[in-house]
Each structure stands twice: as structure tokens, then as C-alpha cells.
């Protein structure tokens, strides 16, 4: 007789540990796989994701690099072209600006410019987002910038399950994949489905069903939107929460399908509003589902300022649950 295991009996897993398990599994499964980056070895990673991997796999597989983002990204690209499967960790996405030329002009374009003769099966992991009082130079949300670039695939795991399994799928992709892990998610916990051993990296996912409006988000916007949906439910409004997960290529069909049913949409994006990923989602809805809308599309985005250091100002600069609830409630009441 099949028995359902009580949730309390299942082990919880943090987002950080899910990332570590994914790295360990990748290194175990393929001898071509190497992990490299600043402080990934002896220090165990800036956010302790790679802790213990140097001792397990040795310095030839887990490589501490100099503080030189352009150089180490170029090395990783060359290693990928030569047949290895490198995983490059860039501490935070703002440091990736120092490697922008390598990522945009080389990793993204070499397969095209070589006529398909060379592939770049490279995975770059980086922390993103604000909320830790790291001030203006270390709190960027730049995933929308990279989602603008053809030749790259952009992932934003928001759940423990995606953090655990997206890396494996990314390593199987023949082209460069960038994974953005929000810094506030590393300590979050969940009870993973023991039957889940892989995830696909092509589609968005509905995390909560609803009928009155759709909340479209990704990354750390997901727990905020789920909390907002709980509050809206207490007001008698049923919000659907759509987790984009994959920022390039966008799952436009899933966005249009959800909004066509609920007929209202609030997009939550920690990036700045001007030229944001939220703007792209809104534009695609205007193109493909304009006549399905019963109300204007609303966006809740980061304030148009460098992220402040003081905690209360940083909070004010980033999307919060109360803002999402207010925008969603006003949108439905207006209609």
C-alpha cells in the first residue's frame, strides 16, 4: 500500500544548499566540469555555496582565480571552446560589468561568427539584487540587461527546486547560460519534491492559480508576489502568480495565456523601471493580448535611484509586498 509521507518528515533544504548540491552533482557526473571563480575554493564562495568542494574535488577542479573578471571569463570561454564544461562564479552581477566585453562580444557571438564551428557551453553563476545593505555598487539587478543579448540564455531560479536542478539543465545547453541567484534567497528553505530529479529551462511556471489578475515576476519577486496574493485573497481577490524563471528566451505564450484569462496584469521587477524586463513583458502583452485586457498594465519596479545604503531607504527603493497589493487592488477595483 502506498503511504503519503507527512511533510514534516521530509527534510528541508535551503536555496544555498540546493545550489551546492547542484555543483557537487555536476562535478561528480562529468570529469570535464570545473568550477572557477574568486574565493570559490578556500573561502567556500562569497555566499558559502561552494563550501567543501575544494576538499572534495581538489584544486584542479575547483579553482581560485585572481580578482580579474575579464581575464577569468575569457579563460572560461576558451576552456568551454576547448571541450571542458566550466562553471564560472562571478561574485555579484555588478562585477560582471568588468567582463561585459567577454560575455557579450565573445561568449554570445562566437557560435554565430564561427558559422557553428565553435560552441561555448559555459555556465556563469552570479548573485543579484538588493536587500542586504551592500550599497549602490553591490546591489544591482542587471539580469534584464543580459536578457537583451541574443546568444545568451538567462535563468533566474526563485525556488529551491529550480536552484537545485537548473544548473544541470544549463550544463547540457551547448550555448552560454547565465544564472542569476538573488542574494536574499540563499537562506530560504523549502521541502523539495523527492521525485524531482530535473527541471526544464524553457518555460515559465504558474506558482499560484487565480482568476482576477496575474502577477508576473521572477527571482526574489516570487516570494513577495506570493505574500501579496495571500493578502489579496483576504480582500476577496484571487491573484495568479506567474514565475518567469527563464528571462531569455521569454515564455511569451505562458504570459499571454495567463493574462488572457485574468484580463489584468501587474509586473513585479526589482530592476529599474526604465528599459526594464518589466517594460519588455508589458510591450509583448500590448502586442499580443491588447484586446484581452480589461485594465492598463501596471509595473512595480525598483526606484530610479542608485540603491541606498540605509536599511529604510533601501527598503523604500525596492518593490515591497504592500506596493504590489496596492497596485493589484487598485487595478481590480478600478475595473
pLDDT in tens, 248-264: 999 999 999 999 999 99
Cis peptide before 25 (omega within 30 of 0): no
Q: Catalytic amino acids?
A: 69, 138
What are residue 115's phi and psi, to 5 degrees? 65, 30
Cβ(32)–Cβ(84) under 8 Å? yes
- Dihedral angle over CA of 299, 301, 303, 309, nearest 10: 160
Q: Residue 1: what pLDDT?
A: 41
Q: Mean of the pLDDT values across residues 112-135?
A: 95
Cβ(37)–Cβ(7) under 8 Å? no
Q: Residue 333: what pLDDT?
A: 83
Whether residue 170 is predicted with pLDDT greater than 80 in this model: the reply is yes
Q: Residue 335: what pLDDT?
A: 60
Identify the structural domains of the chain with CATH numbers, from first to last: 7-190 (3.40.50.970), 205-334 (3.40.50.920)
pLDDT single digits (tens) 50-84: 999 999 999 999 999 999 999 999 999 999 999 99
Whether residue 10 is predicted with pLDDT greater than 80 in this model: the reply is no
Percentage of residues in the chain having pLDDT higher than 70: 96
pLDDT single digits (tens) 275-289: 999 999 999 999 999
Whether residue 223 is predicted with pLDDT greater than 60 in this model: the reply is yes
> Strand 123-128 relative to strand 85-92: parallel, antiparallel, unpaired?
parallel
Alpha-carbon gap, residue 90 to 110, rounded angstroms = 21
In this prediction, residue 194 has a pLDDT band, given cuts at 50, 70 and 90, of confident
Q: Which residues contact 308 (CB under 8 A, 6 or more apart)?
A: 135, 136, 314, 316, 317
Q: SS3 of 211, please?
A: coil
Whether residue 2 is predicted with pLDDT greater than 60 in this model: the reply is no
Neighbours of 90 (CB within 10 A): 24
Q: SS3 of 124, please?
A: strand
What are residue 87's phi and psi, to 5 degrees? -115, 115
The average confidence (pLDDT) of the chain is: 95
Whether residue 247 is predicted with pLDDT greater than 60 in this model: the reply is yes
Q: SS3 of 146, please?
A: helix
Cβ(22)–Cβ(163) under 8 Å? yes
pTM: 0.95
Amino acid at each position: 500500500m502506498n503511504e503519503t509521507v507527512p511533510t514534516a518528515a521530509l527534510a528541508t533544504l535551503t536555496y544555498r544548499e540546493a545550489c551546492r548540491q547542484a555543483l557537487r552533482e555536476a562535478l561528480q557526473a562529468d570529469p570535464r566540469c570545473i568550477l572557477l571563480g574568486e574565493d570559490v575554493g578556500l573561502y567556500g564562495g562569497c555566499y558559502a555555496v561552494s563550501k567543501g568542494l575544494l576538499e572534495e574535488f581538489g584544486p584542479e577542479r575547483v579553482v581560485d582565480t585572481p580578482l580579474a573578471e575579464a581575464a577569468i571569463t575569457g579563460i572560461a570561454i576558451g576552456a568551454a571552446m576547448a571541450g571542458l564544461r566550466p562553471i564560472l562564479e562571478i561574485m555579484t552581477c555588478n562585477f560582471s560589468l568588468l567582463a561585459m566585453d567577454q560575455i557579450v562580444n565573445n561568449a554570445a557571438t562566437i557560435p554565430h561568427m564561427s558559422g557553428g564551428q565553435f560552441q561555448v557551453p559555459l555556465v556563469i553563476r552570479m548573485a543579484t539584487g538588493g536587500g542586504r545593505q551592500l550599497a549602490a555598487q553591490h546591489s544591482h539587478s542587471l539580469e534584464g540587461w543580459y536578457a537583451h543579448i541574443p546568444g545568451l540564455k538567462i535563468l533566474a531560479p526563485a525556488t529551491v527546486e529550480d536552484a537545485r536542478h537548473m544548473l544541470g539543465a544549463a550544463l547540457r545547453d551547448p550555448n552560454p547560460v547565465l544564472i542569476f541567484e538573488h542574494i536574499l534567497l540563499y537562506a530560504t528553505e523549502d521541502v523539495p519534491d523527492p521525485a524531482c530529479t530535473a527541471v526544464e529551462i524553457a518555460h515559465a511556471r504558474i506558482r499560484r492559480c487565480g482568476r482576477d489578475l496575474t502577477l508576473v515576476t521572477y527571482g526574489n519577486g516570487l516570494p513577495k508576489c506570493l505574500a501579496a496574493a495571500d493578502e489579496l485573497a483576504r480582500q476577496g481577490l484571487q491573484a495568479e502568480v506567474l514565475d518567469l524563471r527563464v528571462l531569455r528566451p521569454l515564455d511569451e505564450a505562458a504570459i499571454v495565456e495567463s493574462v488572457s484569462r485574468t484580463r489584468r496584469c501587474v509586473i513585479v521587477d526589482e530592476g529599474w523601471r526604465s528599459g526594464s524586463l518589466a517594460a519588455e513583458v508589458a510591450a509583448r502583452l500590448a502586442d499580443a493580448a491588447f484586446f484581452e485586457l480589461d485594465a492598463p498594465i501596471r509595473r512595480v519596479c525598483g526606484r530610479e535611484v542608485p540603491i541606498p545604503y540605509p536599511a529604510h531607504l533601501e527598503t523604500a527603493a525596492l518593490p515591497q509586498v504592500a506596493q504590489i497589493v496596492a497596485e493589484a487592488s487598485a487595478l481590480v477595483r478600478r475595473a
